Structure formats: C-alpha cells, structure tokens
Amino acid sequence: MKRIFAQKIIDHPWWVIGAILLITVFFASAIPKIRFEQDFEAFLPQDDPATIALHRAEERYGDQKLFMVAVETDDTIFKPETLKKLKEMEELFEQIPEVDEVRGPTNSQVIYGTETAITVAEALPEIPETPEELEEYKERVLGDRLLRGFVVSEDGKAAGILIRLKTGEEETVGVVNSVLEIAERYQGPERIYVGGMPRLNQFIAESMRKDLSVLFPVMILVIVIVLYLSFDSLRGVVLPLLTVVLSAIWEMGTMGWLGVPFTPFSFVAPIVLMAVGTAYGIHILNRYYEEAHKDGRSRREVLVETVTAMLSPTAMAALTTVAGFFALLSSTLWPQRDFGVYTGIGVIYAALLALTLIPAILALLPLPKRERQSLFARWLQGRAGLGGLARLIERTAIIILIGAGAIAVVWAVGIPRLRIETSAKDFLGKGHPVVEALDVLERHFGGSLQTGIEIDLGVRDGLKEPEVLKKIVALQEFLETLPAVRRTTSITNLVRELNQKFHADDPNYYVIPDDRKLISQLLLLFTFQGGSLGQMALTDFSAGEVIVSMEWVSSTQMAKLVEEIQKYLDQHFAPTATASAVLTSDGSLLQIKTEQVGTMPIYARLMQQIRTSQIWSLLTSVGSSWVIVSLLMGSLVAGALCIVPLVLTILTEFGLMAYLNLPLDMSTMMIGSIAIGIGIDYAIHFVERYRLEFARDRDARRALEQTFTHTGAGISYNALALTLGFGVLWISTFKGLNTFGSLVALTMVVSATSAFTVIPAILLLWKPKFLMKHAHAY
C-alpha cells in the first residue's frame, strides 16, 4: 500500500506538481478575504453571560467604548495658539463622515442659570484675544462640572476631545487613521495622543499586518539557515522550504474560505506552522540522501524506497503534533481554538506536501553526485558530539534522574505563585504609543477604561423616581471609594446639575429633587436643549447606566473589583432583598435590577476562562498524547515514558514563568499544548529507535550510541529549527508574542534535552518489558 502510494507519486510527478499548483492557487485566492479581529472583548464565547450583557447594553445604549484625543501641554491649554489648534481639530474631526459627535473644550455646551434665564452657549465661539477674555473662558470651563475633568483637566494642562461614532459604523480602523492624521498635523509643542478602545484595536490590527510582513521573511531566513546547516545543498534548502511556504498558504486559504479571522493570538499560526512543518521535509530529505548513496540504485528505486520508509513515521509524527494542537479545542476561548485547529490543519498540509511534492520534484532531478553532510552535521554525529553525550549519560544515569527530580520539585513549588493576567495593554507592553495615550488619559481625564452598571427598573419612567435616583447616588458614592475608580456618571449627575441651574446656579440645589414632576420637567428641558441622554437612560426611562471611568488596572484587580461591586449590588439591589425595592411617588413598590456590563466584567470572565481552559487543554493534550503513543508502541508504559519529558517541560515552563513573574495569559496558556504536541515527537523518535536497536542484541550501550548518533541528529536539527523558528517571534510588535515565542523556544530546548537525558537514564536503569517486544516500523 505504502509502496503503491510512493510509485504513483514518483511515476506521475507533473500531475502531482500541477495538482498542488492548482490547489495553491485556489487557497491563495482566499487569503485576501481574511479579516483581522482585534477586539479583546470579542474573544469570549457569544453565549457567555458577560458577552450577552455587553451586546444588550450596546444595543440599548450604543457603543460602550471610549474614544478620545488628548492634548497635553507643559503649562496650560489656556493660550490663544493652543485653543486655536483645539478648535480647528474639533472642526476637522467633525468632517470625518463616520463621526457623529465631537465634544471638546471649545465646542461643548455650557449652561448658565440665572434668576430669569437659562443660557446655553458654545464654550468658546471665538478665540479670546485679551487676557481678560482668556480668564473668563477658563473660569467658564473649569467651573462647569460637566466639562471639568472631561474636556479640560482639573489643572488646565490638558484638553480632551471626545469622539463618538455614528451607530452602525463597525469599521473603526479608517476613522482612527483619519483622526491620527489630523492629530499628527497639529503635533508640537503640545503633545497629542489618540486613545481609547478604537485606537487600541486599530493599533493591534496595524501591528498584526506589520508583524506578518516582517515575520514571514525572517522565518524563511531562519529555515534557510537550519536547512543549510543540515544538508549543505540547494535542493536540501529549497524543497523543505517550499513545502512549508505552500502549507502556510493552504492554511491561510482555508481560514479565508471558512471566514475565520486572524486574532492577535492566531495570526502567527502560519509562522508557527512553518517552524513545525520544516521537520517533515528534513526527515524525508535525510532519508533520501541516505538511500541515494547506497550503490547501484536507480532514481526511481531511491525515491520509492524513501517515500515507502518515511510514510508511516511522517504520518505518525504529524498525528501526534496535530493531537497536541487540537487539544486547544478544549479551550473556551475561540481565538485559541482557532489557533489550535488551523495550525493542526496546517501540520497535516505540511506532512502531505512533504510526502508528495518533495518526491515529485526529486523525481525530475538527477540523483545527488556526492554525499551531502555539512560540517555541523559531521561534528554533531561525531564522538565529540552526540556520541560523547551518550557515553556521559551512561555514566551518570542516576545523577541525571535525581537532578531532574530535584529540578522538577523546585519548579513545582513555584507554580502556585503563577499569576493569571490578560489585558490588551499588557499584551502590547510599555512604551507603545497607544499605551502612552492610555496613561495620558488616566493622568488627566479620570481613567482610560470605561465600564458600566445597568440599572433596570422594568417600568416606564422608573428612572424619574426620586427614591431610585437617590439609591443610584449612593451607589455612585460607594463606587467612587474604590481604589481605581476615578469618577462615575449617571442620570443623577444630570438631574442634580439641572436642578442647580434652574435655581439660579445655587450649589445648594445640587441634589435630587423630591418632586418627581420636577425631575421629569428638568429632563424634558434637557432634551429640548440638545442634550443626548446616551448611556444614561433609555428613551422610556425604564433603565440606564452608571458609567464608571477608571484607571487601567490589571485583570486580576478588575476581577477583584467586579467581585466587590457585585457584593454591594447584592446587598443593596438583590431582587429578594427588601432594600432593592423603593416606594414610588404613587405609593407602589418598584424593584431595581442591576448588572455589571462592559470591559471590566468581560476581563473578569476572561480570567476565569483562561484558568479553566488551561487546565483542560493540558489534560487533553497529555491524555491524548499518552493514548496515541501507547497505541503506536503497543504499550501503556512506553506511552507513559514518552510523557515524562513533557511533564518536566510543562513544570519548567510554568515554574519559570512563576519565578520570573510572567503572567499566564491568552498567548502563554497555549504553550503547554504546543510543547506537548511538538515535544512528544522527540520522545517517540528516541524511544522507538532505542527499542529497535536494543531488540537486535540487547546491548544497552550500543543501542544508546546508535540512537544518539542517528536519531539524535534528526531530533537536534528539528529542535534547532523549532527553537530558532519560535525565537523569530521575539521581533513581533506584541510583548505578549515576544514572551510566547521565547517560552516556546525554551520548551523546545527543555523537551529535547529531557528526551536526550531523562529517557535514556530511565531506559538504562529500568529496562522496561516493552523493549523486548517487536519494534514497529516507526
């Protein structure tokens, strides 16, 4: 069967090449269809309670995300030249077609109240020319509670321009680019920052595109170096490279045709695939050169022999790797599932292409004239290299096992310290312009993070009840005592402000009136004056939001805050508690329902999901690897033996992260499954070759040396390719991916080292029964 497959490929090379070309064209045509999904809040399952709450809030109250341009000065914004810039920028932002509303220090409405009149005016219709006019404007803006801290910082050193997009404008990247272009024009001496979620998302999308264009060529260069070190020949470099490039195209094409987006976690799938997939080409070429130098063989015979011999090992190696990646399917977060599934599919493509395209092209080329082995390869397989290592292990088997055990304990002790953390800000890292903008927003404008609490009365005009509003005021007062919360806004601020204005601006009237009719009439006035209730209330006043502006804290802190707020809500608003019911003006009882919506509960849920997903994906990948290896080798003990280096690798990864204070986040939590999927190959190759050699004459020393000098070389090339390949992610724009790349590279080294040390030590000391069984062709 294997031979027939090999013959078909070798006898019809042009058909194979033609078919692969056609399939490549088919897949390549779908690559432009791939869209980028960079919104962290979209990463939870659509049926998650936090996502459902967010979507409902967006439907009811509009976009929940903050989008702001901050202008920072060293002294004050109250200078004619700065004010002129602000005015011009506001006007230009308003010209962007997708923008619905721009609110800044010059175009915001200010409301004055006197005994006889209510005046609604633009904050700055004309640029002030005299110091008196300037001072008057400053007093007007800083004296207005609705503007101070929103569009002008309390100290007057910074100005903020809030931008609201039109409802239904999903594509924000273009808008952010327009805003950035305008901001850039006015840069200096004032420092201008564009912040908020749309900017963050635009930056991530832009960085993903940039990363892809840099990572691809660098990855190709790395592969070329590794292949050159291994084969020192043109075909040895070009053919495996061609298979991984094509498999990456096929993988992306599959995503394109299936409408799967790239996320900041899955867009590196093609890069990872190129690193992982190179191994199949290396093994096939290795075998090809071995067969080619046996005397008196024709080109056809060499190739048929190569493909027949490599079909099973390649398929099995691919299968275990795919199992490792597919284990990510147990994750509850879809970007990780996508990464696992499409890298797994890509691995299948890479194995398939290595088994078909490489022999088909080789069938058209003459046999190599001389033995191809690079200097590096000769050193590696010599006495000073792997041969020497085999002898060292033989002498120190017990020490190795004791040492490995001790190291494992040290790592395991550290693991409970491992913190779970995930935020877009952390993923980007410090020093990025977008993170700087968030910091500026935090410094001057009550935080860069906006979250909310929905107050739902379930009945028309419920939000006009004085008792309800007073309860909301109490909630706001509690929220403002929390450490990260800078300010809260709700309909109560508006009602209190209007009440004061209507009482000749007397601050004693900054309270909720006791008369429901007065509240209704004040709110009516507000809508007449052009006020938009936005998130503060629904059209029928049956529900509204308390908007919480806060510092961008860690997701661990967010989870704690969510818990603390929930405790307050349960105490004061729980449906069963009598405290949640208020007596309305007409004497009936009104129940208040509350729910946290927005960024903070989403992140809190993400934290929970990461913890659960990590445990499940690790258990699934270890379990599936054990089952597959046990089946392949016909022994549960053999399966367990191959798992040992993986367990050590996982302990090292998590232990090291804990000691280095690196968080387990959406990217680093994928490392475990990847390490198992790829690392298991080393153990399988090693154990299987050892078993084959041991079965010949039961000479453990000879079996070990043979295994090291032959299979050990393949494992070394593979580990080198993967370590350098994942190391490429070091140059990614994302700090999260830098950490991810470094840690995977480390796990590759650890799992290869464990396979080279712990497995032979166990085999030498223990000699398990499965070694006596007939070895498979694997």
Partner 1 sequence: MKAVAKFAVVVLGVALLAGAWSSHAQQALTGPQILQKVEEKGGIGGTQGELISDVKFDIIGKDKKTATNEFRFFSKRKQGEPDRLLVAFVKPDDVRGTLFLSIKPQGKDADLWLYLPALGAVKQLVNTQERKGSFAGSNLSFEDLGSGFKYSESYTADEKVTEEKIKVGDKEYATYVLTLRVKKEKEKTEDYPLRKMWVEKTEFVVLKGEGYNKTNKLETVFEALALGKFEGDTVPEKVLIKNVLDNSQTTISFLTRKRPAQPLPENLFDPNNLKNLKIDDLLKL
The residue ranges that bind partner 1 (CB under 8 A) are 59-62, 91, 94-95, 97-102, 109, 116-122, 125, 166-168, 460-461, 464, 502, 515-518, 520-522, 524-525, 527-532, 538-540, 542
Residue 777, classed as helix, strand or coil, is: coil
To the nearest whole angstrom, how small is the minimum distance from the Cβ of residue 194 to partner 1?
20
Is the CB of residue 123 less than 8 Å from the CB of residue 143? no
Q: Closest Cα partner for 308 from 3, 642, 731?
A: 3
Nearer to partner 1, 129 or 170 (CB): 170
To the nearest whole angstrom, how small is the minimum distance from the Cβ of residue 113 to partner 1?
8
To the nearest whole angstrom, how small is the minimum distance from the Cβ of residue 579 to partner 1?
26
To the nearest whole angstrom, how small is the minimum distance from the Cβ of residue 56 to partner 1?
10
Q: Which two tokens stand for residue 198?
A: 């749309």
Nearer to partner 1, 202 or 673 (CB): 202
**Beta-strand pair 191-196/581-583:** unpaired
Any idea which residue has 């009602």 for tokens? 495
The Cα 725–Cα 218 span in angstroms is 9
Ordered DSSP codes for 254-290: HHHHTTPPB-TTTTTHHHHHHHHHHHHHHHHHHHHHH
The Cα 41–Cα 605 span in angstroms is 10
Residue 482 DSSP code = S
Nearer to partner 1, 439 or 461 (CB): 461
Nearer to partner 1, 223 or 519 (CB): 519
Q: Which two tokens stand for residue 57?
A: 């809030």
To the nearest whole angstrom, how small is the minimum distance from the Cβ of residue 55 to partner 1?
13
- Give how far Cα 269 sits from Cα of 32, 216, 261, 307, Å: 16, 11, 12, 28
| Single-letter amino acid code for the residue at 6 | A
Helices within 327-381 (DSSP H only): 334-362, 375-381
Nearer to partner 1, 79 or 503 (CB): 503
To the nearest whole angstrom, how small is the minimum distance from the Cβ of residue 544 to partner 1?
10
| Single-letter amino acid code for the residue at 777 | A
To the nearest whole angstrom, how small is the minimum distance from the Cβ of residue 98 to partner 1?
6
To the nearest whole angstrom, how small is the minimum distance from the Cβ of residue 109 to partner 1?
7
Is the CB of residue 330 less than 8 Å from the CB of residue 360? no
To the nearest whole angstrom, how small is the minimum distance from the Cβ of residue 101 to partner 1?
6
Buried b (16+ CB within 10 A) or exposed e, 192-218: bbbbbbbbbbbbbbbbbeebbeebbeb
Nearer to partner 1, 90 or 190 (CB): 90
- Give how far Cα 749 sits from Cα of 135, 238, 247, 262, 488, Å: 66, 26, 25, 28, 51
Residue 775 DSSP code = P
To the nearest whole angstrom, how small is the minimum distance from the Cβ of residue 50 to partner 1?
20
Nearer to partner 1, 426 or 456 (CB): 456
Q: Closest Cα partner for 354 from 256, 266, 288?
A: 288
> Alpha-carbon Rg of the chain, whole angstroms?
33
Nearer to partner 1, 63 or 291 (CB): 63
Nearer to partner 1, 431 or 530 (CB): 530
Nearer to partner 1, 125 or 296 (CB): 125
